[in-house]
Amino acid sequence: MKQGQTRNHISIGSKVEIVLKKDQRTGRTTSGTVKDILTKSANHPHGIKVRLTDGQVGRVKTIIE
């Protein structure tokens, strides 16, 4: 499993675990499939922001290989 801070590790269709905005305090993760990559920069210290196929938006914690 890779960490989600680097944009080029994530591609559309990747299975990932994200932390939703409402779950940032608890760190609870939600898993799903990447539909869109929203972060433009190559790296982000809190994780790359993505939209899942179900419409939820959050920052990638881990990439499930």
Domains and CATH numbers, the chain: 2-64 (2.30.30)
DSSP 10-65: --TT-EEEEEEGGGTTTT-EEEEEEEEE---SSB-TT--EEEETTS-EEEEEEEE-
Specify the pTM: 0.92
pLDDT for the residue 11: 97
Q: How confident is the model at residue 65 (pLDDT cuts 50, 70, 90)?
A: confident
Q: Between residues 65 and 18, which one has the greater pLDDT?
A: 18
Q: For 17-64, how does the pLDDT look when each residue is reduced to its tens digit (9 = 90+)?
A: 999 999 999 999 999 999 999 999 999 999 999 999 999 999 999 999
Residue 1, pLDDT above cutoff 90 = no
Name residue 3's beta-bridge partners: 62
